[in-house]
Structure 1
Amino acid sequence: MLGISACLGGIFCRYNGGTQTVNQFLTWVNEGKALLICPEVLGGLPTPRTPAEIQNGDGFDVWQNTATVLTQDGVDVTENYKHGAMKAYEAMKELGITSVILKERSPSCGSQMIYDGSFSGIKQAGVGVATAYFIQQGLKVYSEENWQEMEDL
């Protein structure tokens, strides 16, 4: 079984209330081969919600308490992001999930690129808060852009 970002599996939970469904992932969900997770929603954030970006680093820096997650209007949602990551991990751990496919560029789920914190659309190398936590817990992380590289399909 896989963990998959809920927005990639057809759930309307993105910050803007949208989804970015990948048909193959939806098939796996319907076949009972995947658990959909949205760390941001699990962390108590609503849908839709004000856009948020990591300030001064990436997800690993957030866990080191040297970076924060702020909304576009300056609200600190760092603890929501951390709490959601931990809840998502616990749900996956109970099911023995060891690989996840997460939404690239998300402040929670990005695995290669995230936005730079300026809310200007500029991307930088880095990982999201949940991705950093999942990696620290030993999960294999992929995105909708590189999931075909998974060995355990």
Structure 2
Amino acid sequence: MHKILISACLLGEKVRYDGQHRLLDHPAIERWQREGRLVPFCPEVAGGLPTPRPAAEIRQRFPILVNSRDGQDFTPAFLRGAELALEVARRDGCCCALMKADSPSCSNSRVYDGHFSGTLVEGSGLAAAELMRHGIAVFDETQLAHLIDFIAAQTSCAA
């Protein structure tokens, strides 16, 4: 059975920077959860950050710098969370991940610009990038239909 690494906030865990969750209420998620296929994970908490915590954005890519609006450097925690996301995905046999859109850790396609302007730019979060770099497909909650198709294709290939 193929497992799916999933951002813990999408399962209702209050791990977001603001102490909230972003529960994703969908029949496929509920079914996968009943089947024991979901592996909840929050890279930021796993990396050592508290909940709640100041919002953070990727300030620069090379060298990587992730900080809060007031300049706190969260880079080590974000990097550690990215490493742990890959470790957990590999350990639990995850074929893919469903991660939170627009997150500096979890997004697979766009993140905030690093200036706390509310502007989204093309790019991925650190954990999502680490997973993709190692061949693990990453989807966000806006791409759930694509994830469902991906899982169906994985299942038919394994049969």
Scaled by the length of structure 1, the TM-score of the pair is: 0.90
Match of 2:146 in 1: 149
Aligned to 2:118: 121
Aligned length: 146
- Residue type of the partner of 2:19? G
Whole-angstrom distance in 2 between the partners of 1:130 and 1:31: 25
Note if 1:23 corresponds to 2:25: yes
Contact 1:29-1:36 within 8 A present in 2 as well: no
Identity value in percent: 37
Return the alpha-carbon distance in structure 1 between the equivalents of residues 34 and 18 of structure 2.
Answer: 25
The amino acid of 1:142's aligned partner reads F
Partner of 2:70: 73
Distance in 1 (CA, whole Å) between partners of 2:108 and 2:59 is: 16
Deviations 1:58-116 (A, max 9, x none): xxx3xxx4231011110111110010111121112111112001100000011111000
User: CA offset at residue 8 of structure 1?
Assistant: 0.5
Check conservation: 2:85, 2:131, Cα contact below 8 A: no
- Show the 5 A alignment for 1:89-100: 89-100=86-97
Structure 2 residue runs of 5 or longer lacking an equivalent are 153-159
**Cα RMSD over matched residues?**
1.3
1:1-153 paired onto structure 2 within 5 Å: 1-24=3-26, 25-56=29-60, 61=61, 65-150=62-147, 151-153=150-152
The 4+ residue runs of structure 1 with deviation greater than 6 A are none
Q: Which has the larger radius of gyration?
A: 2
SS at match of 2:21: coil
Kept after mapping to 2: 8 A contact 1:105/1:115: yes
Provide the C-alpha distance between the structure 2 equivalents of 1:50 and 1:127, rounded to a whole number of angstroms. Answer: 20
Residues 26/42 of structure 1: CA separation in 2 closer, same or farther (3 Å cut): farther
Aligned amino acid, residue 7 of structure 1: C
Q: Which structure shows the bigger proportion of residues in helix conformation? A: 2
* TM-score, with structure 2 as normaliser: 0.87
